[in-house]
Amino acid sequence: MQDNTTSLYLVPTPIGNLKDITLRALEILQEVNVILAEDTRTSSFLLKHYNIHKPLKSFHAFNEHQTVYTLIERMQQGEKFALISDAGTPGISDPGYLLARAALQAGLKIECLPGATAFVPALIKSGFPTDRFVFEGFLPHKKGRKTLLKEIAKETRTVILYESPYRLVKTLEQLKELCGEERKVSVSRELTKKFEETYTNTLSATLEYFSKKEVKGEIVIVLEGIDTKSKKQEENDDEN
């Protein structure tokens, strides 16, 4: 019979404004034995702000395979863990899902608390359809990038991407080339922070806007899906 005690909590943390954390998240972080963090330096600032003093252990993309089974063994022995990311919900574009999967395979109970996720406010603010959308996370830097971008260009649903400020202009250039100058796009950066900005326009205008300024902060790109009539015309052109 499976133990009903939760061994692993996936706890969302603020994406910018430290007030964007739930009361339940604070309670869980106070109750667990150990907090697993993507970057212990970043997480220490948050935990100190809320006077949370729990052992903090690093869990990130470079060590997850080495530590995951050790952590599972400790959970099986009764320890409770909370997994947090640098910002937002753990498991979204980070290795948190690997630990969650391993815990489930071991028959352990996990819980994911609701909370901050960067792509949700960016999607809502874009004004694009929200009834059907696809989240692609970070694009690959090289292998498979062009193929994926071509698929995205033909997507009828709203498409959400994460991007770094250093590759934003390059990504907008590639999207403009594949999607056309007039496709609408919305770019949000520094969400919930002092210099939060969302710019929504055509790919051509958006590329021009961000090419002329220094871009900082984490980026969410929301691309309008292709019009179904336009897609049908493209498919007819390909057949001809």
Rounded CA gap, 16 and 52, in Å?
18
The CA distances from residue 116 to 17, 18, 90, 121, in Å, are 10, 11, 10, 9
Which ranges in 1-78 belong to alpha helices (H)? 23-31, 40-49, 64-76
Determine the pLDDT at residue 39: 87
- Residue 189 reports pLDDT greater than 50: yes
Helix H or strand E encompassing 219: strand 219-223
Closest CA to 158 of 182, 184, 128: 128
Determine the pLDDT at residue 63: 61
- For the domain 119-235, what is the CATH code? 3.30.950.10
The pLDDT of 172-192, averaged and rounded, is 97
**Structure confidence by residue, pLDDT tens digits, 101-159:** 999 999 999 999 999 999 999 999 999 999 999 999 999 988 999 999 999 999 999 99
- Residue 230 reports pLDDT greater than 90: no
How do the domains of the chain map onto residue ranges?
6-112, 119-235
Determine the pLDDT at residue 1: 37
The pLDDT of 205-228, averaged and rounded, is 94
Our measurement of the distance from residue 212's CA atom to the centroid of its chain's CA atoms, rounded to an integer in Å, reads 26
Rounded CA gap, 43 and 25, in Å?
14
- Residue 232 reports pLDDT greater than 60: no
Token pair 């205008």 is found at 205
Determine the pLDDT at residue 94: 82
DSSP H helix total and E strand total for the chain: 9, 10
Determine the pLDDT at residue 238: 61
**Structure confidence by residue, pLDDT tens digits, 43-97:** 999 999 999 999 999 987 666 667 888 999 999 999 999 999 999 999 898 888 8
- Residue 31 reports pLDDT greater than 70: yes
Does this chain's domain 6-112 share its CATH topology with 119-235? Answer: no
The pLDDT of 169-176, averaged and rounded, is 98
Tell me the average pLDDT of the chain. 92
- For the domain 6-112, what is the CATH code? 3.40.1010.10
Determine the pLDDT at residue 83: 97
